[in-house]
Chains A and B, each alone.
Chain A
Amino acid sequence: DAKTTQPNSMESNEEEPVHLPCNHSTISGTDYIHWYRQLPSQGPEYVIHGLTSNVNNRMASLAIAEDRKSSTLILHRATLRDAAVYYCILRDSNFGNEKLTFGTGTRLTIIP
């Protein structure tokens, strides 16, 4: 599986935007970029995904570099409830490869 690299931890002030980076220099053309987050004492939850174009949903935005070797998850206005571990994962779209491999993620701390 192509690997991703994320900072171990980040801090941000409440009500400010947060940009969480992810490097995936070995991404293949069939890999989707997925982001999940895990709040304390909960299971991971889906945040957003994309292939080539930038994506927006109610939770976040995903900015994908033109060469697709990196991406950034953007939380537009962080709240205390956004404190979590954020995982950037590459998801092979070839049928039959169903594994979703989690790395160590980025632990986001929100400062009140």
Chain B
Amino acid sequence: DAGVIQSPRHEVTEMGQEVTLRCKPISGHDYLFWYRQTMMRGLELLIYFNNNVPIDDSGMPEDRFSAKMPNASFSTLKIQPSEPRDSAVYFCASRLQGTRTGANVLTFGAGSRLTVL
């Protein structure tokens, strides 16, 4: 298994540009999570999906952020327009819903480092 695959690994863009981050979860996993990590705020959950349906997007900072999961093997996180304060590492994670909910573990991707100038 190749694990959770994220792209791009690094993105440098200018303020106002659209940014799209991509994630391929582990095959068969039915939950997908998007996290953001900054020095100031640590790891924050932005949104998560179950069976391709967004369940909780209360962590999405504002309307400039949107996430989609058109099928079980692909998700995107889009920022439009981007701002310097969006600079962070964005992680995607997936997991399988088992019978013991509390025991289920996440597998994270390597992250996408975004720099907005």
Contact = CB atoms under 8 A, between A and B. Distances in A.
Contacts of B45: 99-101
A43 interface: yes
Interface stretch (B14-22, B61-69, B102-110): B102-110
Interface in A72-112: 91-95, 97-104
Contact of A98 (B31, B108, B110): B31
Secondary structure class of chain B's binding surface, majority of residues: strand
Interface residues of A, number: 25
A45 B101 CA distance: 18
A99 B56 contact: yes
A42 B4 CA distance: 12
A31 B48 contact: no
A44 interface: yes
A104 B31 contact: no
B56 A93 contact: no
Nearest to A34: B105
Interface string A8-26: 0000000000000000000
Interface in B83-117: 91, 93, 100-111
Given A34-B105, A98-B48, A98-B101, 6 more contacts: A30-B102, A44-B91, A45-B108, A93-B103, A97-B101, A98-B55
Interface of A: 30-32, 34, 36, 42-46, 49, 51, 91-95, 97-104
Interface of B: 4, 31, 33, 35, 42-43, 45, 48, 50, 55-56, 91, 93, 100-111
9 contacts: A30-B102, A34-B105, A44-B43, A44-B91, A91-B102, A91-B103, A93-B100, A98-B48, A99-B45
